[in-house]
């Protein structure tokens, strides 16, 4: 729903509204229907979830992983932010990152 409304925002920015189409989202007098109100509520929830996801991505830097039958698993982070995050989050652990490979 969020992607649809992103497109709709672009559409309203670039084009002048000349009316509405009677149907699922607008009645004969051009007023929003219950379906449009539900879609707007879904948009609000989608935007809330998107913002929460973006906040989590900013808080927890992305890492990489790989696995093969021959070598097993490996995790590495391309940023020192993980070391900073782990050190700040777990101050009682002497070396919270010693099992991880950090590439700067």
Region for 59 from its dihedrals, namely left if φ exceeds 0, alpha if ψ lies in -120 to 50, beta otherwise: alpha
The pTM (predicted TM-score) of the whole model is: 0.55
pLDDT tens-digit map of 33-90: 999 999 999 999 999 999 998 888 877 767 788 899 998 888 877 666 666 776 677 6
- Res. 104 pLDDT band, cuts 50 70 90: very low
**Residues ≥6 apart with Cβ < 8 Å to 25:** 32, 33, 35, 36, 39
Backbone angles phi, psi at 17, to 5 degrees: -75, 130
């Amino acid at each position: 729903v969020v992607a649809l409304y992103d497109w709709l925002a672009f559409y309203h920015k670039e084009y002048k509204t000349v009316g509405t189409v009677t149907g699922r989202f607008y009645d004969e007098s051009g007023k929003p229907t219950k379906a449009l109100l539900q879609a707007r509520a879904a948009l609000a929830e989608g935007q809330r979830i998107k913002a929460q996801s973006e906040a989590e991505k900013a808080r927890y830097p992305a890492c990489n992983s790989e696995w093969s039958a021959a070598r097993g698993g490996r995790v590495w982070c391309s940023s020192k932010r993980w070391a900073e995050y782990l050190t700040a989050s777990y101050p009682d652990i002497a070396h919270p990152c010693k099992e991880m490979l950090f590439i700067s």
